[in-house]
């Protein structure tokens, strides 16, 4: 009976979806850091504003389009559920302020 219960617990844990991982991106005065990253499907990406200027996060090209509000502090998070390459810009400081996220 104990072996059966242990086998059931192990099966349930293996079947449970993995907790979403969070990756952070720093938004400074006219830059994203890191400039490129590769993440797994289901990862939450959190952009954190630093510095003084106002910026936003806009998907210029990718499997899904989204954008943040224009702001100079705080954060914006998005769970990336579709595989592909996301080309992201700040619409005020493009084309110089850009980054790429590859979702596998």
Q: Is 60 exceeded by the pLDDT of residue 12?
A: no
Q: Which of 12-16, 40-44, 88-92 has the lowest mean pLDDT?
A: 12-16
What domains are there in the chain, each with its CATH number?
A: 19-103 (2.60.40.420)
Beta bridge partners of 86: 101
Q: Which residue has the higher pLDDT, 7 or 88?
A: 88
Judged by DSSP in three states, 5 sits in helix
Tokens coding 92? 């005020």
The beta-carbon contacts of 47-54 under 8 Å, at least 24 apart in sequence, are 47/75, 47/76, 47/77, 48/24, 48/75, 49/73, 49/74, 49/75, 50/26, 51/27, 53/29, 53/93, 54/92
Q: What is the pLDDT of residues 47-86, one digit of tens each?
A: 999 989 999 999 999 999 999 999 999 999 999 999 999 9
Task: Write down the pTM of the prediction.
Answer: 0.81
């Amino acid at each position: 009976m104990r072996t059966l219960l242990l086998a059931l617990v192990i099966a349930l844990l293996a079947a449970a979806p993995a907790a979403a991982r969070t990756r952070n991106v720093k938004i400074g005065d006219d830059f994203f850091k890191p400039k490129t990253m590769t993440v797994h499907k289901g990862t939450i990406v959190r952009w954190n504003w630093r510095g003084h200027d106002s910026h936003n996060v806009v998907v210029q090209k990718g499997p899904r389009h989204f954008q943040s509000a224009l702001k100079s502090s705080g954060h914006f998070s998005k769970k990336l559920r579709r595989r592909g390459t996301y080309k992201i810009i700040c619409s005020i400081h493009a084309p110089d302020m850009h980054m790429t996220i590859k979702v596998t």
